[in-house]
């Protein structure tokens, strides 16, 4: 770790996130992380504490960036259907471009055991899903209040369905199923808003 104070923790986390997404938690060694970060083990422990704590930080950062993008799209949407479709298509395209990035937090959650110091990986993965659900529910509530959703639709139920669908998209992205499979599934998901 540099002594001149130029060590950027967020940038370091960004550089190392790919290792976790491509190799999984157990498939990424401490030495792999040290190599990518170009720091020694003492510097790593001083900055991040442990491999698990580093993984939690990477998970939180990735989740925050994804939710931030989703919220921006949904908050500025004049109509809910095009906004939801845009969010879902963006996720599909990202996972199709790089299927290893579709390795979602919930799939990795069981790999890193909790050390009793704060929320576990699984708890943080659930919190990330709750943030996605909350962003969707907020947008759907706003859509319903302006008449953009039918009166019988429950924004929270729809948000839970779409959150589940998003996780399914990640699995599909990793499985590299064909474009028509994804488009058919997306069309059905969008009909849930009718």
Q: Which of 169, 143, 150, 162 is nearest to 78 (CA)?
A: 143
Q: Is residue 8 one of the residues assigned to a domain?
A: no
Domain limits at 148? 51-191
Q: Which of 130, 72, 85 is nearest to 106 (CA)?
A: 130
pLDDT digits (tens, 9 = 90+) for 91-123: 777 666 655 554 444 445 445 554 444 566 677
Q: How many residues does the chain have?
A: 194
Q: Is residue 58 one of the residues assigned to a domain?
A: yes
What CATH number did the domain enclosing 179 receive? 1.10.357.10
Higher pLDDT, 63 or 186: 186
Q: Is residue 26 one of the residues assigned to a domain?
A: no
Tell me how far apart the alpha carbons of residues 115 and 21 are, in angstroms, rounded to a whole number. 21
Q: Is 38 helix (H, G, I), strand (E, B) or coil?
A: coil
Q: Is 5 helix (H, G, I), strand (E, B) or coil?
A: coil
Q: Is residue 36 one of the residues assigned to a domain?
A: no
pTM, two decimal places: 0.70
User: Measured in whole angstroms, how far is the alpha carbon of residue 187 from the centre of its chain?
Assistant: 22
Q: Is residue 106 one of the residues assigned to a domain?
A: yes
pLDDT digits (tens, 9 = 90+) for 147-180: 999 989 999 999 999 989 988 877 776 666 777 8
- What is the domain count for the chain? 1
Q: Which of 116, 72, 109, 110 is nearest to 90 (CA)?
A: 72
Burial 166-184 (b: 16+ CB within 10 A, else e): bbebbebbbeeeeeeebee
User: Which tokens go with 94?
Assistant: 């990202």
Q: Is residue 134 one of the residues assigned to a domain?
A: yes
Q: Is residue 11 one of the residues assigned to a domain?
A: no
What rounded mean pLDDT belongs to the chain? 79
Question: Residue 174's pLDDT is what?
Answer: 64
> To the nearest whole percent, how much of the chain has pLDDT over 70?
80
User: Which tokens go with 42?
Assistant: 């003492």
């Amino acid at each position: 770790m540099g002594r001149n104070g130029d060590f950027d923790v967020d940038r370091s986390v960004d550089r190392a996130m790919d290792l976790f997404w491509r190799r999984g938690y157990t498939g990424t060694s401490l030495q792999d992380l040290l190599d990518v970060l170009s720091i020694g083990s003492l510097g790593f422990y001083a900055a991040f504490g442990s491999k698990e704590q580093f993984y939690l930080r990477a998970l939180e950062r990735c989740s925050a960036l994804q939710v931030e993008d989703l919220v921006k799209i949904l908050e500025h949407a004049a109509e809910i259907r095009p906004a939801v479709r845009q969010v879902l298509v963006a996720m599909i395209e990202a996972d199709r471009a790089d299927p290893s990035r579709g390795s979602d937090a919930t799939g990795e959650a069981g790999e890193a055991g909790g050390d009793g110091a704060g929320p576990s990986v699984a708890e943080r993965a659930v919190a990330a899903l709750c943030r996605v659900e909350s962003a969707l529910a907020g947008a759907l509530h706003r859509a319903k209040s302006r008449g953009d959703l039918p009166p019988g639709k429950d924004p929270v139920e729809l948000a839970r369905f779409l959150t589940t669908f998003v996780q399914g998209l990640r699995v599909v992205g990793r499985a590299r199923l064909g474009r028509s499979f994804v488009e058919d599934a997306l069309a059905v998901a969008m009909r849930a808003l009718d």
